[in-house]
Amino acid sequence: MNPRDDSVNIADVKLHQVLKLMYVKYNKRHKTSAQIGSFKFIPENFFEENHSALLILIHEQRTLSNLCDYHDKQIMKAIFNGMAKNNFVVRDRCMYYFTDMGYRQALKSSNKLKYWNKYHTGIFWGVITAIVGSPILGWVFFGY
C-alpha cells in the first residue's frame, strides 16, 4: 500500500466531527461559501492544529482499518483521500479543498440554523413565522 494514495472511509459520526473541525477553520477566515475553491486544507497541518480532537478518531481508525504501520499524519491523509473519493473534498497534490457538497455537510454539522437559513430559506422562515404567529407558542414565547 502506498500511504500517499491510500483512502479510508470513516463512519458518518466521525466524518461529521472532521467536517465540523474543517468548517470551524474555514469559517474563521471566510464567512460564505464563495472561497471554498481557494481555501486549502493540508492533512498534516490540520492534524497538528486539531491534535487533541482527532486523537481518538485516529486510534480507532488505525485499529479498524489495520493500519498499524502508519503514523497519525498518514492516517489523517488516508481519511482525507477517502473524503476526496466521496466528493467531500477535492485533492490537488498534497492539498485538499472543499467541494460544494463537502461545504454543505460541514455547515450542516456545525451550525444547523445557518444551514437551514442558507439552503432551505423558505422552510426555515415558514417554521419561524408559524411559531411566532401561533396563538399558543407565540403568546407563551412573547409573554402574552
User: pTM to 2 decimals?
Assistant: 0.80
Q: State in words which class domain 1-110 has.
A: mainly alpha
**pLDDT digits over 27-37, tens only?**
888 877 888 88
Q: What angle do CA 123, 129, 131 make, to 5 degrees?
A: 105
pLDDT per residue as tens digits for the range 96-119 = 999 999 999 999 988 888 888 888
Q: Report residue 81 as a C-alpha cell.
A: 483521500
Cα angle value 115/51/56 (rounded, 5°): 85
Residues of CATH 1.10.10 domain(s) within the chain? Answer: 1-110
